Structure 1
Amino acid sequence: MKRKTAIPVTIFSIVVVAIAATLTVNKKKIDAANQIVDRSLIPVSVTVSKVTNQPMTINLTLPAILNPYESANISVQTPGIISSLSIDKGSRVAQGEIIGAIDMRVARLNLDAAQLNSEKLKEDYQRTKALYEGNAASKVNSIDTKYAYENAGIQVKQIKQQIANANIVAPISGIINARNLRAGEFVNPGMTIASVVNIYQLKASVYVDEADVYQLHLGETATVTTTVLPGQSLTGKVIFISPQGDDNHNYQVDILLDNRTKPMLKAGTNVNVSFDFSPKGNVLQIPKIALVDDHQRPYVYVINGNRAEGRYITTGADQGEYIQVTNGLKEGDEVVVSGQINLQNGSLITIVNH
């Protein structure tokens, strides 16, 4: 009986010892894994790029639609029947050109009558004035005849102005875009007889971000291109910069374009407007990927012997994959462009692209 009891006890003891040994080995492995390793002496593999000093071309290109520089409705101030109208869609007109008239035959008859009446009243006034000066007429009679004569003169001027206003005049130079009435139809003051657009000059409006709009000034040139004129570019001029931005901090900028080209562009054409923001001369520049993201200011790692030196820099304009450096670096410096995530100031490095 004693022998049978001893066997299970022995087996149990062996299992306990095995478990204890296993736990001890595992603990040693865990402690070894958790031991802090000093990596400051382990070089970090990086790739670098040199700071270059060369020209940088920067163009801001924005889409736009061409619009007429100006447009206007043609109307009259005098009501009546249109007696003549010498325009149609597509007609070209010059500012101030008489293109039609309102029938003023009755008004001219009224003018003749008013002029005759004015001449009669003038004679009456001169006769009464002479009598008054000779004490043969009262002062009241002299004043009344003078008033009647002057009032008749005013009526003559009013009828003449009415006749002059009967001319239908083009308010601007351009091309007739629409005609709403014909000769023989009645027109009231303010009614639109026709519409004219000036496309000898066209206007393109673009919306420029506040980061770029401060680089633009009135009178600056812009390059305008369109797919309808492949291989050609036109030069426009900035004529307006909005003093107030929209909710997205974009500012309207208008460009005036001379449209005396062959072929003449049409209003409504899609174009691209480009502004040249290129710095003058050569500028220091580095790849954008050299900038370290986790810093509030532009920050790069510069190679100093076999170590990486962290440095704050000042940046300027950017073009594609490159950005201008205005302070903090010099030509020929080498900056880290990959591997920055494993670096800190003073880290040992190994350059893999030398």
Structure 2
Amino acid sequence: MNKYVLGVWLTLLVGGCNSPDGTLPPATATETKAAKVTSVAVQVIEPQELQEQLTLPGSLEAWEDLVLSAEIDGPVRWIGPQEGDRLKQGEVILKIDPDTRQASLDRARAECDLRRNTRDRFKTLLDEKLVSPQEYEDASCAYEVAAAELRQAQVAIEQSSLNSPVAGVLDRLLVDRGEHVSAGTPVASVVQVDRLKVVLDVPEKDVAYLHAGERVQVVQATINGPQEAGVAGELIHLAYKADPVTRTYQAKIAVDNAEGRLRPGMIVRVEAVRRDLPGAIAVPLYALVEQGGRKVAYVAENGVARLREVTTGAVIGDQVLIEAGLAAGERLLVKGQHLVTDGGAIAVAGD
């Protein structure tokens, strides 16, 4: 081989090892750097004993909210308690013309006593045949009439005093002393507040979970400040017929208010147990990832992340029920789950 042929051959050999532009070919990704590994944290999925809560808004009402009316005509002569005062059952609130009613009672009592004595005297005379049976009968009838008038006067004196039918609070006085009222005129408003009732509307989807006699928790709604402690209540009524407009069922809950913390008209929340969930699979809300309109989760499996499409249920606190897609014992990614892909390499903290 002459020198010319040898030179051409070496030139071709060198040129074939270079790229068309005369540079060396690049190295592969595995040769330049190792595959990307994402650091994650996991939580082992374990069955839990959970309770799904039902929370509904309601309003407090007085157990009894009474507007008391005058039973007789006359001027208001006396008013005892003032607005806001506590009342005992049967306590006198005001009196309407008691002097006139008392005078009528005294006159009726005296007349009744006179007619009774006359009847008794005529009875003795009849036994001695000194009066006729008709005269005795007339005396007896006169006594009966006088006795009826006495009973009427006694009723009138009772009606002249307006008494509270329940233990409660005198919320409003609707008349002043000296004012003339007629029978049927509203004169006072009394509310019973040592026991209250919550009125609320229950949606159709929740009716099946509530039953009369069930114990619930009533919590005063607050906008600012610390949350007030709840009080126990009892469901006493749940309507069988839905409201035709709202399609909800009215419920009433009895609440003990002996301490006087609650007032009629307040807005409250009613918390009840919707259902018990033994052996439930629930995961933190933040562990789920939104992908294309679906919810997914990632689990650690042999050093890689595996995608699981999940079906979610109710949210309980900061956890969500998993109805399908995850199983007990799997290692759920709770940190770094937004940075991984299905089959991507991961490094689990603590492993």
Same fold (TM over 0.5): yes
- Aligned counterparts of 2:147 and 2:166: Cα–Cα separation in 1: 33
Which residue is 1:254 aligned to?
Answer: 252
- Which of 222, 225, 231 is matched with 2:220 structurally? 225
Which residue is 1:296 aligned to?
Answer: none
Conserved? CA contact 1:74–1:171, under 8 Å: no
Conserved? CA contact 1:236–1:258, under 8 Å: yes
Deviations 1:276-311 (A, max 9, x none): 22415433569999xxxxxxxxxxxxxxxxxxxxxx
For the aligned residue pairs, the C-alpha RMSD in angstroms reads: 3.5
Which residue is 1:53 aligned to?
Answer: 47
- Aligned counterparts of 1:255 and 1:353: Cα–Cα separation in 2: 55
Query: Secondary structure, in 3 states, of the residue corresponding to 1:136?
Result: coil
- Aligned counterparts of 1:158 and 1:319: Cα–Cα separation in 2: 68
- Aligned counterparts of 2:225 and 2:215: Cα–Cα separation in 1: 23
Shift of 1:322: 4.2
Q: Note if 1:282 corresponds to 2:279.
A: yes
- Aligned counterparts of 2:114 and 2:85: Cα–Cα separation in 1: 47
- Aligned counterparts of 1:230 and 1:257: Cα–Cα separation in 2: 22
Which residue is 1:117 aligned to?
Answer: 111
Change (3 A) 1:242 1:117: same
Shift of 1:250: 1.6
- Aligned counterparts of 1:234 and 1:78: Cα–Cα separation in 2: 45
Question: Counterparts in 2 of 1:204-219, with a 5 A limit?
Answer: 204-217=198-211, 218-219=213-214
Which residue is 1:168 aligned to?
Answer: 162
Conserved? CA contact 2:51–2:277, under 8 Å: no
Task: Supply the AA of the counterpart residue of 1:226.
Answer: A
Count of aligned pairs between the two proteins: 265
Which residue is 2:292 aligned to?
Answer: none
Query: Secondary structure, in 3 states, of the residue corresponding to 2:194?
Result: strand
Change (3 A) 1:66 1:140: same
Query: Secondary structure, in 3 states, of the residue corresponding to 1:279?
Result: strand
Conserved? CA contact 1:208–1:252, under 8 Å: yes
Shift of 1:258: 2.7
Which residue is 1:187 aligned to?
Answer: 181
Deviations 1:50-84 (A, max 9, x none): 98522234122122222222211122312211110
Conserved? CA contact 1:56–1:319, under 8 Å: no
- Aligned counterparts of 1:174 and 1:110: Cα–Cα separation in 2: 33
- Aligned counterparts of 1:130 and 1:153: Cα–Cα separation in 2: 21
Change (3 A) 1:249 1:330: farther
Which residue is 2:101 aligned to?
Answer: 107
Query: Secondary structure, in 3 states, of the residue corresponding to 1:200?
Result: strand
Change (3 A) 1:317 1:233: farther
Structure with the largest fraction of strand: 2
Which residue is 2:150 aligned to?
Answer: 156
Question: Counterparts in 2 of 1:331-342, with a 5 A limit?
Answer: none
Structure with the largest fraction of helix: 1
Change (3 A) 1:75 1:316: farther
Task: Supply the AA of the counterpart residue of 1:267.
Answer: P
User: Mind listing any 5+ residue stretches in structure 2 that lack a counterpart?
Assistant: 1-43, 289-310, 332-341, 346-351
- Aligned counterparts of 1:253 and 1:193: Cα–Cα separation in 2: 31
Conserved? CA contact 1:76–1:191, under 8 Å: yes
Shift of 1:149: 1.0
Task: Supply the AA of the counterpart residue of 2:279.
Answer: N
Conserved? CA contact 2:101–2:160, under 8 Å: no
Report percent identity of matched pairs: 26
Which residue is 1:306 aligned to?
Answer: none
Shift of 1:198: 2.4
Which residue is 1:140 aligned to?
Answer: 134
- Aligned counterparts of 2:209 and 2:92: Cα–Cα separation in 1: 45
